[in-house]
Amino acid sequence: MRIRITPSRAEGCVTAPPSKSMAHRLLISAALAKGKSVLLGVSLCEDVLATLDCLSALGIGCERAGDTVTVTGGLVKDFPSATLACRESGSTIRFFLPIALLSSHKCTLTGAPSLMRRPMRVYEALCREHGLYYAAGEQGITVRGPLQSGVYSLPGNISSQFISGMLFALSQTEGESRLCILPPVESRSYIDLTVSALRSFGADVVWLDQTTLRINGSAAMTARDATVEGDYSNAAFLEAFNLFGGNVRVEGLDPASGQGDRVYRDCFARLAKGYACISLENCPDLAPILFSVAAAMHGARFEDTARLKIKESDRAAVMAEELSKLGATVRVYDNAVEVEKSELYAPKEPICGHNDHRIVMSLSVLLSVFGGEIEGAEAVAKSFPDFFDKISALGVRVEKI
């Protein structure tokens, strides 16, 4: 889908979309808990639909009515062979692979080619070390357990999703386990979101120190009702319009949220004041919108950017390529990105979305100032399906062409 954005001003009040990160975690926790849980405010974006598909494939009842999902939990650990279709969701495949290892029957996790290219070697190494079956091929990844309680070590600098996946699975194994994270521990806030979700359903998971988690798999998890909180990650795109003459108020965000992307407001303030140096260690998903803001304002240096290579796209390289179409100069290094202050202008050719929702939304903000077209705009369905409807309601002139 190609869209054209004409220079226009965003103004009004908008409700933040539900957190995709918390929806994943609450749905899976509800599936592990015995009983019926009612979850409100579940965004049916592509990634969350992938998680619902996987739960259904494992025999979990998931009844949808609008943005409400009723989950009949109580996962049978030695479930029969199943195919888990993860679509393009990195969270889904990394959360469910260890869950699949709970069974002594083979399970295959499939997904789009772009998903299957994303790194999974952490789990491959773990399976090899603990004598578990793991085979990757063109059709997907096939694994077989059963995973047992014990001591497991995982690197902390690749993706916190691997650690979250193991927390889900180890909460279902008999006995006590320890998960040792090899420093540096990046995106710790996402690990804490998983711990919070599990504990809210009765799991016994605690930090013993800065790098060690203890999981008591014998703790009973019971059903509960919950509401998915608003998403700071996607709210950042909406509030970014305010840096370019907009007047947008975003409601529905929990001030006490543990989401790491809460820092976007502080980052915006720093970028508005002048050249800034910002670490993305705990908020890598903010990278595209922060790069866009920096290019249009005073420039910036971003550190701890190495993991951007393994997102939906190589986000640092892709943003450098697309921002250059607006006149920006972006230098990409192994673990840093420098964005020069630039005199931006309307691109003479369409922006490419690179099948990455955050690339599309970040560049849409700039096009509301300079105008232009984006090819592949449908990528927003991954996390924020009604993004263009919402910004249109705020006054941004968007046209599908």
Residues annotated as catalytic are 285
Give the residue from 52, 77, 55, 78 showing the smallest Cα distance to 65.
52
Question: How far, CA to CA in Å, does 93 sit from each of 90, 107, 115, 145?
Answer: 5, 12, 9, 16
310/117 Cα distance (integer angstroms): 9
HSE, CB side, 13 Å, CA atoms: give it for residue 70: 4
Give the β-pairing of 176-182 and 151-155: parallel
Cα angle 224, 68, 57 (rounded to 5 degrees) comes to 80
Q: Please provide residue 387's backbone torsions phi and psi, each rounded to the nearest 5 degrees.
A: -55, -50
Residues 6 or more apart in contact with residue 58 via CB below 8 angstroms: 31, 75, 79, 82, 84, 99
| Beta pairing, strands 204-209 & 212-216 | antiparallel
- Alpha-helical runs (H) found in 130-277: 160-170, 188-200, 232-240, 264-273
Residue type, 159: S
H or E element: which one contains 155?
A: strand 151-155
List the end-to-end C-alpha distance of the chain, in Å, as a whole number: 8
Q: How far apart are CA 193 and CA 60, in angstroms?
A: 22
320 contacts 343 by C-beta, under 8 angstroms: no
